[in-house]
Amino acid sequence: MLKIGVLALQGAIREHIQQVDKVGCKAIAVKSVEDLKGLNGLILPGGESTAIRKLLDQNNLLEPIRTLAEEGMPIFGTCAGLILLAGEVVGCESPHLGLMDVVVERNSYGRQVDSFEVELSIKNIGQNIPAVFIRAPHIVSVGQNVEILATFDNRIVLVRDRHYLGCSFHPELTEDVRIIKYFVEMIKQFNHTSLAKLDSI
């Protein structure tokens, strides 16, 4: 059984864990470096990107996650998770993890009260897929080798960059599991297991 970690510091943690369980994988709540061991993939949930970054630093998780990612561990970032993955964030001096070849702008769709749900057509995944936008970022631009999977209102909202998947919205807040299934297939393709000794990551 594949083990998929869900960064459990702040944000929509429970919903991601439920979706991972629903598609037949084992969900691991990641709060420490110890929790990273043996994972096949990792989800960075939505929430508040600045708060999550502070907690990543406090728990000494930023560099271990970056190391495992660079070794080939697939990572899926939603909303704030996308901001953490981005190589550049508009208005920020430096990126967080800086793993994806994308430029992201925060809070592109208004405040919390402006939240909404739409249905998207997503390349390689399907039609009429519900997407919940809550204080969502959008992807301003992508690198040459980044695949655009979905757009909304002429803005890029879902992309794949090698073994990284990033989206502006919250697929975990719906009953549709097609996007998480796509991530599971990515994990199978890269076949990574984080077996490195904890003191080396």
- Which amino acids are annotated catalytic? 79, 170, 172
How many other C-beta atoms can be found within 10 angstroms of the C-beta atom of residue 19? 25
How many other C-beta atoms can be found within 10 angstroms of the C-beta atom of residue 43? 27
Main-chain dihedrals φ then ψ at residue 107, nearest 5 degrees: 50, 50
Distance of CA 5 to the CA centre of its chain: 11
Name the residue with tokens 């980044």: 146
44 near 81, Cβ under 8 Å?
A: yes
Give strand ranges (E) for 31-154: 41-44, 75-78, 86-89, 100-105, 116-122, 126-133, 138-142, 147-152
How far apart, in whole angstroms, are the C-alpha atoms of residue 27 and residue 3? 6
Exposure of 179 by Cβ count < 10 A (0-12 exposed, 13-18 middle, 19+ buried)?
buried
